[in-house]
Amino acid sequence: MRTKPSRFGFTPQEHRISALPSTVASVIVLMLTMLNGSLLWPVDPLKARLLSGLGMIGIAYIIVLNILVLPNATLNPFFNWLNAFVTPLELGLLTFAISEKLGIYIGVLLILAVISSSITSERGPSYTLILISTATEIFIGQKYNIQEFTFHLSIMLIAIVTVETVGQLKNLSRDHIRRLEIITEFSRQIASSLNAKQVMSLLNAALQNAVKADTYFVGIREGNEMRLELIYDDGKYYENQRTSLDGSLSGWVFENHESLFLPDLRKEVRLPGVRIVLIGKHKTSLSWMGVPMRSGTVDGIIVIGSYRPNAFNRADMELLSSLALHAAQALHNSYDHADVELQAQLDSLTGVYNHGRFLKILKEQADQALEQKQSLSLIMLDVDHFKLYNDTYGHLIGDEILTNLCNVIKQHIKATDAVGRWGGEEFVISLPNAGAEHALQIAERIQQTMLALTVYSDNEKSIPGPTVSQGFAIYPIEADDVIKLIDLADKRLYVAKERGRNQIEPNTIKQTQNE
Model confidence at 157, in pLDDT bands (50, 70, 90)?
very high
Look at the chain and report how many structural domains it folds into: 3
Q: 252, 233 in Cβ contact below 8 A?
A: no
What does the alpha-carbon distance between residue 356 and residue 346 come to, in Å, rounded to a whole number? 9
State whether 319 and 369 are in the same domain. no
State whether 478 and 363 are in the same domain. yes
State pLDDT tens for residues 357-381: 999 999 999 999 999 999 999 999 9
Model confidence at 9, in pLDDT bands (50, 70, 90)?
low
Lateral strand order in the sheet of 504-505: 418-423, 426-432, 376-383, 468-475, 504-505
Tell me whether residue 310 is in a domain. yes
State pLDDT tens for residues 160-203: 999 999 888 888 888 888 888 888 888 888 887 778 888 888 88
Model confidence at 12, in pLDDT bands (50, 70, 90)?
low
What does the alpha-carbon distance between residue 70 and residue 16 come to, in Å, rounded to a whole number? 6
State whether 123 and 22 are in the same domain. yes
Question: What CATH number has the domain bearing residue 456?
Answer: 3.30.70.270
State whether 39 and 158 are in the same domain. yes
Tell me whether residue 293 is in a domain. yes
Tell me whether residue 463 is in a domain. yes
User: Would you state the pLDDT for residue 277?
Assistant: 58
State whether 361 and 332 are in the same domain. no
Q: Could you tell me which of 498, 254, 238, 230 has the C-alpha nearest to residue 382?
A: 498
Mean per-residue pLDDT for 86-105? Answer: 77
State whether 47 and 150 are in the same domain. yes
What does the alpha-carbon distance between residue 278 and residue 61 come to, in Å, rounded to a whole number? 63
State whether 329 and 417 are in the same domain. no
User: Would you state the pLDDT for residue 91?
Assistant: 83
State whether 262 and 144 are in the same domain. no
Alpha helices in 426-473 (DSSP H): 436-451
Q: pTM of the full predicted structure?
A: 0.62
Q: 58, 15 in Cβ contact below 8 A?
A: no
Residues 6+ apart with CB under 8 A from 85: 128, 132
Return the sign of the alpha-carbon dihedral for residues 54, 59, 60, 64.
Answer: positive
State whether 372 and 463 are in the same domain. yes
Q: 101, 43 in Cβ contact below 8 A?
A: no
Model confidence at 510, in pLDDT bands (50, 70, 90)?
very low
Weakest-pLDDT range from 66-70, 170-174, 291-295:
66-70
The residue among 176, 204, 230 that closes a domain is 176
pLDDT at 111 over 60: yes
Tell me whether residue 513 is in a domain. no
Q: 195, 334 in Cβ contact below 8 A?
A: yes
How buried is residue 81: exposed, middle or buried, by Cβ count under 10 Å (0-12/13-18/19+)? middle
Question: What CATH number has the domain bearing residue 308?
Answer: 3.30.450.40
The residue among 341, 374, 402 that closes a domain is 341
Q: Could you tell me which of 141, 52, 150, 44 has the C-alpha nearest to residue 101?
A: 141
What does the alpha-carbon distance between residue 385 and residue 383 come to, in Å, rounded to a whole number? 7
Question: Residue 415 is which amino acid?
Answer: A
State whether 27 and 158 are in the same domain. yes
The CA distances from residue 221 to 225, 333, 506, in Å, are: 6, 17, 48
pLDDT at 7 over 70: no
Tell me whether residue 121 is in a domain. yes
State whether 279 and 392 are in the same domain. no
User: Would you state the pLDDT for residue 151?
Assistant: 79
Tell me whether residue 189 is in a domain. no
Q: 224, 244 in Cβ contact below 8 A?
A: yes
Mean per-residue pLDDT for 25-29? Answer: 87
Tell me whether residue 394 is in a domain. yes
Mean per-residue pLDDT for 382-406? Answer: 90
How buried is residue 452: exposed, middle or buried, by Cβ count under 10 Å (0-12/13-18/19+)? exposed
Model confidence at 141, in pLDDT bands (50, 70, 90)?
low
Percent of the chain with pLDDT over 70: 88
State whether 495 and 371 are in the same domain. yes
pLDDT at 46 over 90: no
Q: Could you tell me which of 277, 207, 19 has the C-alpha nearest to residue 218?
A: 207
Tell me whether residue 485 is in a domain. yes
146: domain range? 12-176
State pLDDT tens for residues 406-459: 999 999 999 899 999 998 999 999 999 999 999 999 999 999 999 888 888 777
Q: 502, 488 in Cβ contact below 8 A?
A: no
Q: 61, 23 in Cβ contact below 8 A?
A: no
Q: Which residue has the higher pLDDT, 488 or 244?
A: 488
User: Would you state the pLDDT for residue 8?
Assistant: 46
Helix axes 436-451, 395-411, angle to 10 degrees: 140
Backbone φ/ψ region at 310: left (φ over 0), alpha (ψ -120 to 50), beta: left
The residue among 291, 313, 341 that closes a domain is 341
pLDDT at 304 over 70: yes
Alpha helices in 412-472 (DSSP H): 436-451
Estimate to the nearest angstrom the gap between the alpha carbon of 385 and the chain centroid: 56
